[in-house]
Amino acid sequence: MPEPEGVVHKLYMERELPPKVAEVARLQGEDADRKSLMIEQLRDMIYEKGECIPHRVDDDYLIKFLRARFWNVLHAYNLMVRYYTFRESNPEFYENVNPMSLRSLGDDDIISISPYRDQEGRRVICFKFGKWRPNKIPIVDLFRATMLLLEVGSLEPQSQVLGGIGIMDLEGLSYNHAWNLTPSVAQKMLALLATSMPLRTSQIHIVNQGWMFDTVFQIFKPFLTDKMRQRLFFHGTDRASLHKYIDPEALPERYGGTKPEYPYTYWLEHLSRVEQIVDELQQLGYVSDPLLED
């Protein structure tokens, strides 16, 4: 499926940060004079404590954990332990998963990722859970697609610093959906979005929630920490409320923005053709589609 003219779904892998992002990184604790020392401290901690065995310990890999926890070495280490624990507990989310097999989530318009960034430079991902049909797409595929997005996003230095934004569109949420959202599912969703991945979800915006939302939210409430609650924003159908946080220039028309919406499929097809991304994902246990490799 060719991309529309002038629209580029691309991951920016350059190590050097744009000046504005570099300033944000500095305010978060990234110090060029101490960077190498802190990377080495994290590497030493991994070897000394031995609570996880990462598949890589090179500088680029460790930096994304340090950035995700504002260069606090102990917190970065704890995040790494949680990340590998989550992977070991849920190998079905990535092991021998072909990213292109998840294109149905784009075809059904369940997930979309914008090629545009918000006013702070963050990527915006939209989840339309009301369009999910559990009898057609198993819930494990939702986890696979979300984990894939976060793994790929964590490769991008700018996103490592700025994090990302999620829009949870709950229009059409029904009992059929709620039946599939068990406490175990809620815990895993929060682990992906908040506690166990080396990429921060800076904000989660709930829109178009209806009468079923209260029932579903009760499942999540026991697992929400104060920090998680501070990242949640509820807007209903009030687009002006959403625009206080995300400029309409970065939003699709569906949410009162100015941009068209593009399917998840464009993003997958871009990933499948970038050798560095394919290699990174294969190291993590994913498999590639030989029909789509250059």
What is the band of 103 on the pLDDT scale with cuts at 50, 70, 90? confident
Q: At what angle do helices 139-153 and 183-190 cross, to 10 degrees?
A: 10
- Mean of the pLDDT values across residues 117-142? 94
| Pairing of the two strands 201-207 and 111-117 | unpaired
Buried b (16+ CB within 10 A) or exposed e, 167-204: bbbbeebeeebeeebeeeebebbbbbbbbbbbbbbebb
**6-20, 33-47, 121-135, 205-219: the lowest-pLDDT one:** 6-20
Across the chain, mean pLDDT equals: 92
Rounded Cα distance between 65 and 70, Å, is 9
Per-residue confidence (pLDDT) for residue 150, from 0 to 100: 94
Sketch out the chain's domains with CATH numbers: 22-89 (1.10.8.20), 93-284 (3.40.525.10)
Q: What is the pLDDT of residue 189?
A: 93
pLDDT of residue 203: 95
For the chain, give the number of residues: 294
Residue 5 predicted with pLDDT over 80: no
Provide mean pLDDT across the span 243-254: 95
The residue type found at 151 is: E
Average pLDDT over residues 155-168: 96
Q: What is the pLDDT of residue 292?
A: 42
Residue 281 in this model has a pLDDT that exceeds 50: yes
Evaluate if residue 293 carries a pLDDT over 50. Answer: no
| pLDDT surpassing 70 at residue 4 | no
At 248, the pLDDT band (50, 70, 90 cuts) reads very high
191: pLDDT strictly greater than 60: yes
Dump pLDDT digits (tens) for 197-210.
999 999 999 999 98
For residues 27-40, give the mean pLDDT: 97
The band of 133, judged by pLDDT with boundaries at 50, 70 and 90, is: very high
